[in-house]
Amino acid sequence: MGVVRRFGADGLEAAARKRGKRKGRLKILALDETGQEKKGESTAGVKRQHMGCADGVANGINTVHAAWIREGTGQVLAGFRQRIPEEHIKDPVKSLVTALPLDLAFKTKGELAIGIVDDAVADGLVPGFVCGDEVHGSCTKLREHLEQEKQGYVLRVAKNFRVTMGNGTILTCEEAVKKLLKGRRRWEVRSAGKGPEGGRWHAWARIGTASSRRSLLIRRHLRTGELAFHHCYVPEGQPCAKARLVRAAGLRWPAEEESEFGKGQFGLDQSQVRLFHAIARHTVLACAALAICAVTAALLRDRTDTQAAPPVRPGQSPPADPGLIPLTVPQARRLLAAATAPSWPPGHIEHWDTWTRRHQASARWFHKRTKLGRDATISLVS
């Protein structure tokens, strides 16, 4: 896995250098957990548990993944740890049947994330921030470990997460918003990065805590008013501007996208293996294939992006030729597969790829024009 993550990080760095987008761009290590449904009871780590892929409780295994994200360039899967239930580790028969390592110790998802982060840093992947969802934000050991290592983080936390204010008062995130963020002028509308349909706009606010290096970052949905909370830490000597934290918070979602690509394009969840080390080998192979296609797409992005200029007003007429979106990871996989094992008539895959990318470019243009009408109502407030 070390070879895979170094290849991916070096490839994304080369793509960023090629595009001239290295200075000021964030590097993020985003944590995410993903499940794989399994049948029976013979697979290492399998049990009935809550799994996001099943939208509830199901029989399967859970794995913590980390994505290395280069802002404005791309991302690759850079590490993983399978979660093994404590009762399986303590059961000598289960451990023997599923080939669990003799020295394997039970760890929570947050504790597994510590090992992933340490492995990445040891291989030279030092992120500006470690990002994760509420599962990782609620892990005290993970937060303390990152602070001890002088590693910045932006971790999602629940509304009942407790923070200590500057005056010593302890408040939940929800209470802090009600008491300290009264009035529109405390919120600032910012984009958390560009998605396929344009900027992802939200209202943001930041609340200071007892420590000058820690803060609570709050995101509010512009239409529904739904709140999301992020506990942030910025080490000494690094800029702690709110805009930088907002960018980091907006870069967490590619970790989920990489897991979806791994499953949908590279069979990450389609193995029929049972043993602990066999699952690990299959996961590494899927991550390697994903890294190859991700780096290929990143290196060819400028050469393959021929999209028409984006719309500038809501009623603008569409262009005669929408152009092509840049090469994506799924399309890189299809082209590489066709080149190495041709099974279609000559030119078929290239024709299908061109048609798909032109159709997506047209859809993006119309999505952006529609969003212009909505975004026109957004007023930036200080």
* 212 lies in some domain: no
* 53 lies in some domain: yes
Q: Where are the beta strands (DSSP E) in 71-225?
A: 74-83, 129-132, 153-157, 162-164, 170-172, 188-195, 198-208, 214-220
The percentage of residues in the chain with a pLDDT greater than 70, rounded to a whole number, is: 95
pTM over 0.85? The answer is yes
Q: Which residue has the higher pLDDT, 182 or 32?
A: 32
Largest CA distance in the chain: 72
Residues 19 and 94 both lie in one domain: yes
Decide if 106 contacts 27 (C-beta within 8 A): no
Residues 88 and 11 both lie in one domain: yes
Q: Is the pLDDT of residue 300 over 60?
A: yes
* Beta pairing, strands 214-220 & 227-233: antiparallel
Residues 93 and 11 both lie in one domain: yes
The rounded distance, in Å, linking the Cα atoms of 341 and 348 is 13
Residues 256 and 370 both lie in one domain: no
The rounded distance, in Å, linking the Cα atoms of 276 and 285 is 15
Which residue segment(s) compose the domain that 336 sits in? 303-375
The length of the chain, given as a count of residues: 382
In this prediction, residue 166 has a pLDDT band, given cuts at 50, 70 and 90, of confident
Q: Is the pLDDT of residue 380 over 50?
A: no
| C-alpha separations of 260 from 31, 36, 117, 159, 290 in Å | 14, 12, 21, 27, 11
Give how many domains the chain has, as a whole number: 2
| Residue where the block lists tokens 């300290």 | 180
* 273 lies in some domain: yes
Q: What is the mean pLDDT of residues 41-68?
A: 88
Residue 88 confidence (pLDDT):
95
- Closest CA relative to residue 71, chosen from 19, 36, 116: 19
Name 253's Cβ contacts closer than 8 Å, sequence gap at least 6: none
Q: Where are the beta strands (DSSP E) in 162-295?
A: 162-164, 170-172, 188-195, 198-208, 214-220, 227-233
Among 298, 329, 357, the domain boundary falls at 298
Residue 291 confidence (pLDDT):
96
Residues 23 and 107 both lie in one domain: yes
Quick one: tokens of 372? 């212009």
| C-alpha separations of 117 from 145, 294, 302 in Å | 10, 21, 31
Residues 29 and 47 both lie in one domain: yes
Lowest pLDDT segment from 81-95, 123-137, 205-219, 342-356: 342-356
Q: What is the mean pLDDT of residues 14-19?
A: 90
Decide if 308 contacts 364 (C-beta within 8 A): no
Residues 13 and 114 both lie in one domain: yes
Among 241, 274, 298, the domain boundary falls at 298
In this prediction, residue 198 has a pLDDT band, given cuts at 50, 70 and 90, of low
Residues 315 and 333 both lie in one domain: yes
Residue 21 confidence (pLDDT):
67
The rounded distance, in Å, linking the Cα atoms of 321 and 362 is 8
The rounded distance, in Å, linking the Cα atoms of 235 and 19 is 29
Work out the mean pLDDT of the chain and round it to a whole number.
90
* 174 lies in some domain: no
Among 298, 328, 362, the domain boundary falls at 298
Q: Is the pLDDT of residue 253 over 70?
A: yes
Q: Is the pLDDT of residue 214 over 70?
A: yes
* 237 lies in some domain: no
